[in-house]
C-alpha cells in the first residue's frame, strides 16, 4: 500500500515538474511582450496614462497595430506634404473616372502636445469626392480627410501620425467596444469602422487618411488603393 501511495506521489510530482516550467516560461514571455508594447506606446506619446496604455494594449490584441507602428518608425525616411498629396489624389481620380471630382470643404488644426510638451498643430484638410453624370448631377459622394504631420523630425512626424490614428480608434474613450477591425494591403496600417458601413482610415509615413460619410464604399476603396500606389510611386521618383 505504501509503495502504491509513493508511486502516486512520484507521478504527481513528475506531472508538476513537467507542467510548471512551460507555464512559467509563457508568463515571462507574456510579460516581456506587454512591456515592449508599453515602451512603444510611450514612444508614440509620453503623456499616455496607465489607463491609456492598458486600454490600447487591449485594443492591440484585436487590431494588431503596435508592432506595425514600431517597424514603420524604425524605417522612417521620407515625408509627404499636403500640396503634393492633393495633386496626386486629383491625378488618381482622373485615372479612375473623369466624372470623379475633388471639392475642397474645410481645414483645421488639432492641437496636441508632443513628448516635450510643445504644442504642435498637424493640419487636416477635408474634401468631398463626387461622382457626377453627364448633366453634372451628383450620383454618389464620400468625404475624405487628409492629415499631414508638419514636424521636421521625420521619425517624430511618423509617431505623431500614429498617435492620431490611435486616438480615433475609439472616439475619445466613449466606449469599451472596439469599433474597428484591421484591413490589409492599404498604407502602413489600415482599419475599417465596423459600426459604419464604408468608413475606413489608414496611415502612410506622416499622412493619415479618413474616408467617411461614404455612399460609394466599393469605389472609394478602389480610389484609396490607387491613391496609395500613386503616393508610393511619386516618393520613389523624388528620392531615386
Neighbouring CB atoms inside 10 A of 125's CB total 17
Pairwise CA distance, residues 15 & 30, whole Å: 23
- For the stretch 44-68, pLDDT in tens is 988 899 988 998 998 898 899 999 9
pLDDT at 4 over 50: no
CB burial readout 34-56, b (16+ within 10 A) else e = eeebbebbebbbeebeeebbebb
Q: What is the pLDDT of residue 2?
A: 45
Sorted by where each begins, the domain ranges of the chain are 2-63, 74-238
For residue 234, what pLDDT band results from cuts at 50, 70 and 90? confident
CA neighbor of 41 nearest in space, from 31, 27, 62, 55: 55
pLDDT at 162 over 50: yes
- For the stretch 194-231, pLDDT in tens is 887 789 999 999 999 999 999 998 899 999 999 999 99
CATH 3.30.70 at 74-238, yes or no:
no
- For the stretch 105-133, pLDDT in tens is 988 776 655 555 555 678 899 999 999 88
Cell of 232: 508610393
- Percent of the chain predicted with pLDDT > 90: 40
Pairwise CA distance, residues 88 & 92, whole Å: 6
DSSP 8-state symbol, 178: -
Amino acid at each position: 500500500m505504501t509503495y502504491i501511495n509513493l508511486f502516486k506521489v512520484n507521478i504527481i510530482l513528475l506531472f508538476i515538474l513537467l507542467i510548471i516550467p512551460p507555464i512559467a516560461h509563457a508568463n515571462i514571455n507574456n510579460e516581456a511582450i506587454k512591456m515592449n508594447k508599453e515602451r512603444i506606446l510611450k514612444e508614440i506619446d509620453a503623456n499616455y496614462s496607465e489607463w491609456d496604455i492598458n486600454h490600447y494594449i487591449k485594443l492591440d490584441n484585436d487590431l494588431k497595430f503596435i508592432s506595425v507602428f514600431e517597424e514603420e518608425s524604425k524605417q522612417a525616411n521620407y515625408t509627404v506634404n499636403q500640396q503634393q498629396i492633393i495633386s496626386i489624389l486629383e491625378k488618381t481620380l482622373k485615372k479612375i473616372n473623369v466624372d470623379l471630382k475633388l471639392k475642397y470643404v474645410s481645414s483645421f488644426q488639432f492641437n496636441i502636445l508632443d513628448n516635450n510638451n510643445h504644442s504642435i498643430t498637424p493640419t487636416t484638410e477635408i474634401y468631398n469626392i463626387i461622382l457626377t453624370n453627364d448633366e453634372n448631377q451628383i450620383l454618389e459622394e464620400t468625404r475624405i480627410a487628409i492629415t499631414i504631420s508638419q514636424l521636421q523630425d521625420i521619425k517624430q512626424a511618423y509617431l505623431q501620425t500614429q498617435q492620431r490614428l490611435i486616438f480615433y480608434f475609439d472616439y475619445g474613450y466613449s466606449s469599451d467596444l472596439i469599433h474597428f477591425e484591421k484591413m490589409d494591403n492599404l498604407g502602413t496600417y489600415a482599419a475599417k469602422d465596423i459600426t459604419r458601413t464604408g468608413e475606413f482610415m489608414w496611415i502612410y509615413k506622416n499622412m493619415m487618411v479618413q474616408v467617411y460619410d461614404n455612399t460609394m464604399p466599393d469605389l472609394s476603396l478602389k480610389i484609396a488603393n490607387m491613391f496609395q500606389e500613386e503616393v508610393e510611386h511619386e516618393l520613389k521618383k523624388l528620392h531615386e
